[in-house]
A and B are shown apart, each in its own frame.
Chain A
Amino acid sequence: MRISQAIRVGLAFGVAFVIGGIAVASINSPAESELTPMFSTSPLKLLSDGSSLLADPNEIGFDEHDLDILTGASIYRAADSDGLTAYVARLEDGSLCLIATSAADGGAMTCGTMDSVAAGRLVLRSQNQPGDPSLFVGIAPNDVIDVQVDGTSTFLANNVFVGSGLPTTDEYSLTGESGQRVTVDMNVDGVLNEQPGSHPGDEPLAND
């Protein structure tokens, strides 16, 4: 009797150990990339524009920790709009960072890969106070010709777009040269919806 009890307890521990091991392994495995490039992954045109390249990255006004991240990076001044200055940094490993600064409010930075850009997701959304407009700054791939927030086209130049939306707006839409239109909801993974384009210039769909 005592032996069978010991066996049962041993089996229970064994099963628990295996299940626990599987669970821990599963939890500790970083998720695979969920981004699907929807637009061009070719190098940004901005990065070949020598006149936009900053001679001194310190002009951004970073603190020493930001500069650590950007050691060896090439930083390009891309746009000035809506009181913001937007920069794109190409790090030594080829990844990209989007930096938006405002003299009054400070700044923000997000980084990713060219796949992030081609998925339309290397974007910053900022809001100073609840109820204030939401401000979107993002990197646009070379083949994106229009970016809209709340149905209104944003400023778009040098691979960067800047636009504002309603306080609760947390999505935006990108349109490519071939007419494909992608709406990105920043609350969800991947692309919210994809509307394959047929002809550039087509009228937007009713639910846009």
Chain B
Amino acid sequence: MRKTILTVAVALGLLLGAGTASAGSFVYVTTTNPMAALTAYYSSVANHTGNYIHACQNPTFSSAIYLTTSGGTQIRRVDGLCPLRNWGHPAENSTRAWCANKTTSSKYAKCTKYT
């Protein structure tokens, strides 16, 4: 049941994020404040060995990064406390970085580019 909800939430996040992503470059994404439960946002990155980070201002909850190919296939998922970073093999190009609040309550959080 929880997985189903998350799947739906990720799909919703995809719809919400569709307007913020652009191919080939990182797009700064700030989630709603607080970030709603079971929602996800993504940014596109040209090469996920590059300069992106998942920063959350409340470090006490678990969250996730989903990385997908441009075709939508997941190539890696990492879960952990915020802040959470992930970098991949150089061969994994043109990926999207997902930032998700997996918990069932809203959180004060922000997903942002690391500068």
Residue numbers in B under 8 Å from A30 (CB-CB)? 57-58, 108
Residue numbers in B under 8 Å from A109 (CB-CB)? 84-86
Question: Out of A104, A121, A129, A130, which one reaches B81, CB within 8 Å?
Answer: A121
Question: Which chain B residues (64-93) contact chain A, with CB distance < 8 Å?
Answer: 74-89, 92
Q: What interface size band does chain B fall in?
A: 35 or more
Interface residue? B62 (CB, 8 A): yes
Cβ contact within 8 Å between B60 and A33:
yes
Interface residue? A186 (CB, 8 A): yes
Cβ contact within 8 Å between A108 and B75:
no
Cβ contact within 8 Å between B81 and A31:
no
How far does the alpha carbon of A126 sit from the alpha carbon of B74 in the complex, in Å?
12
How far does the alpha carbon of A96 sit from the alpha carbon of B75 in the complex, in Å?
28
Chain B interface main SS type = loop
Most buried by A among B51, B76, B92: B76
Within the complex, the shortest CB–CB distance from A44 to chain B, in Å, comes to 17
Question: Out of B62, B77, B88, B108, which one reaches A31, CB within 8 Å?
Answer: B108
Interface residue? A28 (CB, 8 A): yes
Cβ contact within 8 Å between A105 and B89:
yes
Cβ contact within 8 Å between B84 and A187:
no
How far does the alpha carbon of A110 sit from the alpha carbon of B48 in the complex, in Å?
17
**Besides A116-B60, A121-B62, A186-B80, 6 new A-B residue pairs in contact (Cβ under 8 A), listed by A number:** A31-B60, A106-B88, A123-B81, A188-B62, A189-B103, A189-B105
Q: Give the interface of B toward A (CB within 8 A).
A: 2-3, 33-34, 48-51, 53, 57-62, 74-89, 92, 102-105, 107-108, 114
